[in-house]
């Protein structure tokens, strides 16, 4: 009976071949480390956010006079409303943490290089949509930080040439952040996750065309690829367990550590908080914005600091495999970049003082300089590594994989492999 149903479907829809091609039989490099778990985790958190978000939307009211109260209604009166809300609020941080690790892995292992540029660029688009979704979701509780954060960020569009004022008014739906802004942010906050799901599908189709990269950076021969199921389904589930433990520690024991105290005060347009800070995941970019004294310059620098990742396939001119693993100079660059991000995050968090402003400017300068020097560093490093030779085990591995691949057509002809 079951077989007959599947056969009936298969004649009309490629079900079995899809499952075989993309799930059970999908060839995956066997040497993937746990850093390759984070793409799956990002997908999981996306589903978690959509699920909790839909239930929150059933009780939330997008109206400036009601939204703060409706959050308290969810927190106090709705059955397990506090759990839904803390899962969703903590989920936003978890999403960015997972995505930042996913990106750091891509940068470290050079996974953005050919033929995976489209994966990197669709990922960049997903990051932008995630940032927009998080920013708009942050307005919804209508607390002090929600209101002032949205005011500061929408104000940045004043930097648009010629029509700055009009663009800001158009975005807000009013001259100031108000009811019109809240309702449209709610509508878009509900829409964007579904666009993100669409983007993820494109990201995955691209992945299944070019297949996963791996820590060696070498395109592995068939014998070193294993089917996704059961090997990576179980490995992803184990990683998910570890992730959920960390996530639940925050949800159940430290949920308020991720919520600014000022956001527990209802929005008051007449009273500016002493110190406006974004959520932790925007701090480095916020620091870059503040480090440039001029509004237009700051906005351009901030936009560029996010978009500069797209250029990585061109900025990195080395063809040495394995990303930072076999490339000592690139490795140093990578760690300097991570350290610079942390410094920028710290600068974004502290109220501006003479010291922190200088520190932010140095770190901003350093941020862009690292990207600008990368073409020269990577090319010089490639020449140096070719002259010096790769470690013998890497050379052996490259030779082995190449030999394995050249054998493949003959063996297939002889019928060794089905």
Partner 1 sequence: MKKLIVVLMLYCSTSPVWATDAKLENIQVETSVQAVERGVDDLMNNCHSCHSLKYIKYRDLATFGIDKKKIDEWRGDQPIDAPLAGLMSDEAAMQSFGLVPPDLSLMTKAREGGASYVYSYLLGYYNTPEGMTGNHIFPETKMPDPLGISSATEPAQRDELRKTAHDIVSFLSWAADPHEQERHRLGYYVIGYLVILTLLLYFVKNQVWSKLK
Residues near partner 1 (CB under 8 A) are: 30, 69, 72, 75-76, 82-83, 86, 226, 230-231, 234-235, 237-238, 241-242, 244-245, 248-249, 251-253, 255-256, 259, 261-262, 264-265, 274-275, 343, 346, 350-351, 353, 355-356, 358-359, 362-363, 366
Asked if 208 is an active-site residue, the reply is yes
Q: Nearest approach, Cβ of 273 to partner 1 (angstroms)?
A: 9
Of the candidates 211, 235, 379, 407, the residue annotated as catalytic is 235
Beta-carbon-side half-sphere exposure of residue 219 (alpha carbons within 13 Å): 11
Q: Can 318 be counted among the known catalytic residues?
A: no
Minimum gap (Å) between residue 22 Cβ and partner 1: 20
Nearer to partner 1, 205 or 248 (CB): 248
102 annotated active-site: no
For the chain, the residue count is 418
Rounded-to-integer distance, Cα 87 and Cα 242, Å: 16
CB of 366 to partner 1, least distance (A): 8
Q: Which is nearer to partner 1, 47 or 246 (CB)?
A: 246
Nearest to 316 by CA among 363, 364, 389, 382: 382
Least spacing, CB of residue 291 vs partner 1, in Å:
13
Between 31 and 310, name the residue whose CB sits nearer to partner 1: 31
In degrees rounded to 5, what are phi and psi of residue 281? -75, -10
Structure tokens at 404: 């394995």
Nearer to partner 1 (CB atom), residue 196 or residue 343? 343
Which of 21, 208, 223, 403 is an active site residue? 208
- Shortest Cβ 284–partner 1 spacing (Å): 15
Is the C-alpha dihedral spanning 160, 162, 165, 168 positive or negative?
negative
Distance of CA 70 to the CA centre of its chain: 30
Question: Token digits for 272?
Answer: 């500016």
Burial class (CB in 10 A: 0-12, 13-18, 19+), 117: middle
Cβ count near 161 (within 10 Å): 7
Closer by beta carbon to partner 1, 128 or else 332: 332
- In the numeric block, which tokens belong to residue 151? 């005011």
For partner 1, the closer of residues 16 and 256 by Cβ is: 256
User: Residue holding tokens 């007959």?
Assistant: 4
Is the peptide bond preceding residue 230 cis, with omega within 30 degrees of 0? yes
Q: Count Cα neighbours of 210 within 13 Å in the Cβ-side half-sphere.
A: 19
Element (H, E) at 226: strand 225-227
Of the residues 279, 316, 340, 381, which is catalytic?
279
Per the residue annotation, which of 70, 93, 146, 212 is the catalytic one?
212
How near is the Cβ of 234 to partner 1 at its closest, in Å? 5
Instruction: Tell me the C-alpha distance between 43 and 19, whole Å.
Output: 18
List the catalytic residues. Answer: 208, 212, 235-236, 279
């Amino acid at each position: 009976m079951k077989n007959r149903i599947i056969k009936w479907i298969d004649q009309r829809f490629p079900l079995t071949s899809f499952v075989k091609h993309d799930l059970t039989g999908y060839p995956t490099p066997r040497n993937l480390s746990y850093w390759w778990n984070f793409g799956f985790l990002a997908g999981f958190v996306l589903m978690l956010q959509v699920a909790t978000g839909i239930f929150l939307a059933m009780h939330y009211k997008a109206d400036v006079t009601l939204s703060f109260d409706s959050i308290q209604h969810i927190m106090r009166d709705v059955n397990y409303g506090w759990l839904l809300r803390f899962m969703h609020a903590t989920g936003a941080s978890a999403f960015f943490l997972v995505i930042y690790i996913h990106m750091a892995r891509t940068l470290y292992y050079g996974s953005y290089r050919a033929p995976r540029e489209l994966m990197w660029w669709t990922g960049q688009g997903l990051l932008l949509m995630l940032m927009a979704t998080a920013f708009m979701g942050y307005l919804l509780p209508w607390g002090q930080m929600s209101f002032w954060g949205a005011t500061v960020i929408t104000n940045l569009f004043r930097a648009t040439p010629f029509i700055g004022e009009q663009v800001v008014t158009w975005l807000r739906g009013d001259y100031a952040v108000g009811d019109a802004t809240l309702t449209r942010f709610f509508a878009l906050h509900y829409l964007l996750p579904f666009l993100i799901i669409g983007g993820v599908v494109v990201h995955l189709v691209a992945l299944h065309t070019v297949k996963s990269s791996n820590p060696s950076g070498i395109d592995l021969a068939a014998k070193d690829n294993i089917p996704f199921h059961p090997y990576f389904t179980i490995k992803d589930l184990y990683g998910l367990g570890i992730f959920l433990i960390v996530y639940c520690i925050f949800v159940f024991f430290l949920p308020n550590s991720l919520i600014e105290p000022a956001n527990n005060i209802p929005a008051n347009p007449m009273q500016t908080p002493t110190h406006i800070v974004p959520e932790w995941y925007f701090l480095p970019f916020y620091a870059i914005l503040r480090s440039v004294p001029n509004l237009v310059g700051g906005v351009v620098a901030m936009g560029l600091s996010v978009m500069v990742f797209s250029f990585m396939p061109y900025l990195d001119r080395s063809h040495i495999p394995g990303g930072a693993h076999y490339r000592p100079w690139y490795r140093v660059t990578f760690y300097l970049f991570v350290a610079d991000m942390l410094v920028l995050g710290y600068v974004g968090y502290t109220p501006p003082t003479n010291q922190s402003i200088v520190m932010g400017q140095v770190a901003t300068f350093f941020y862009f300089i690292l990207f600008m020097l990368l073409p020269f560093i990577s090319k010089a490093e490639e020449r140096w590594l070719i002259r010096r030779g790769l470690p013998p085990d890497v050379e052996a591995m490259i030779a082995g994989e190449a030999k394995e691949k050249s054998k493949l057509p003959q063996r297939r002809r002889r019928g060794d492999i089905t």
